[in-house]
Amino acid sequence: MTQTSPSRRSSPASPTGRPRDGLLDLLRSLSITRVIGIHLIGRSGFWFWPAPTYVLPGMPMVFFVSGALVRKTLGTVDGARRSALTYWRSTFRRLLVPYWAYYAVMVLVAVVADAGHTSDYWTVHHDDLLLGATGFVVPEGSLFMRRHTGHLWFMSAFLVLTLFAPLLVRLFERFRGLVMILPLSLFAWVEWRISGGEDVRTELDKLATFSVPYVAGFWYTENSFKRIPRWAFAAASAACAAGAWWYDGIRPGAVNASGIKHLLVGGAWLAASFAAAPQLRRVADRFRTVIDRISRRTFTIFLWGWTTSVVAWDRAGSITDGVWQRRSLYWVFALALLAAAVAAFGWVEDVAAGRTRRSTALRPSWTAPRGGRRSSS
């Protein structure tokens, strides 16, 4: 299927004023769906674990999509460039406002529970609570907080990358491929420390790992990326898959237990997605209303997905000791709680993004990436 450049065909603007890319929105929606599914499957303790972790790793895709969107936002277009201050103000608001709403609920529950219990599990350390409010570190205000908010390393990684995004985009526009030396060097240094038995904070480990697909996402908007034939993406996917299979022989286990394996498996799925881009764009166009709704709640789902799964697992366990009964109740409770959380707090994401009721009702305008035709489509 031939795809024309947005500059050559007229299409209504999205609510943000820019054409939307259906492939990126589809990848983001699939990623968040996969993350929630992995939480459910992993906690259920099925015998086939960790095989599902090799299916469509969500976080490499999320960070790649974020990098591609950041490049579109901060890149030079017709001689104009969005200022770093404008970008920081907008992006930090979009990230921190929903996070603070989530964090306020968690802190309220922790403080109230601490007042009514003497167990160390509920004891709150208020200095840690204040530090967690910044979003740059995983909250460790109490054992309860650690158990329910351990997934928030992604918040720290996004905030740090947001801070450095204007510089990284400038370096990319000037040096192109050489800018990959920065995330790859950080990743290699962290992996070297881990292999040496050193204790590395989760925030730094994950930042080092996912800064690689984040910066790699800058290439998505480049004409050189669009000229890559689909067979080359298919070959790259096969090479990454072979590398992951080989590395699994050295370090078997779940994909997210190893940064190297996570990147290889994520790279295999990303490359396969680009090889099948025309077909995936048709899928995105067919289901664009559903995908757009998921995309508008992605961050809310990320924030609440892990926490609601922990609460659901504990609640199911308090009702029954049967393995399958507990699994069944857990899935029902987890999905119901997540739906309730999204319904209750999703509007905060709209406010933070500056979306009005009218704009959220608009269907997205999806186009191929800027820069012309794909030679292989």
pLDDT, one tens digit per residue, over 150-196 is 899 999 999 999 999 999 999 999 998 889 999 999 999 998 888 77
Write down the domain spans for the chain.
6-361
- Per-residue pLDDT of 312-347, as tens digits, reads 999 999 999 999 999 999 999 999 999 999 999 999
Sign for the pseudo-dihedral over CA of 60, 298, 95, 204 = negative
Using the predicted structure, report yes or no on whether residue 59 has a pLDDT greater than 80: yes
Q: Give the integer Cα–Cα distance in Å for 369 and 198.
A: 42
According to DSSP H, which parts of the chain are helical? 22-44, 58-74, 84-116, 126-132, 143-149, 153-175, 181-195, 202-216, 223-226, 230-250, 259-275, 277-286, 288-295, 298-319, 323-353, 357-361
Q: Specify the pTM.
A: 0.87
β-strand partners of 366: 20
Using the predicted structure, report yes or no on whether residue 365 has a pLDDT greater than 50: no
What does the pLDDT read at residue 35?
A: 92
HSE of 376 in the Cβ direction (CA atoms, 13 Å)? 17
The 10 Å Cβ neighbour count of residue 295 is: 19
Tokens of residue 102, six digits:
């989530």
What does the pLDDT read at residue 357?
A: 60
Using the predicted structure, report yes or no on whether residue 18 has a pLDDT greater than 80: no
Mean pLDDT across the stretch 225-248?
94
Lowest mean pLDDT among 27-36, 234-243, 363-372: 363-372
Phi, psi (rounded to 5 degrees) for 126 = -65, -30
Residues of the chain with pLDDT > 70, as a percent, come to 88
> Does residue 50 have a cis bond before it (omega within 30 degrees)?
yes
What does the pLDDT read at residue 352?
A: 94
What does the pLDDT read at residue 372?
A: 41
Confidence of residue 374 (pLDDT cuts 50, 70, 90): very low
State the amino acid at position 314 in one-letter form.
Answer: D
What does the pLDDT read at residue 307?
A: 95
CA distances from 248 to 190, 197, 355 (A): 19, 19, 44
Phi, psi (rounded to 5 degrees) for 89 = -60, -45
Using the predicted structure, report yes or no on whether residue 257 has a pLDDT greater than 60: yes
Using the predicted structure, report yes or no on whether residue 265 has a pLDDT greater than 90: yes
**Is residue 270 within 8 Å of residue 303, measured between CB atoms?**
no
Q: Give the integer Cα–Cα distance in Å for 179 and 181.
A: 5
Sign for the pseudo-dihedral over CA of 29, 31, 35, 40 = positive
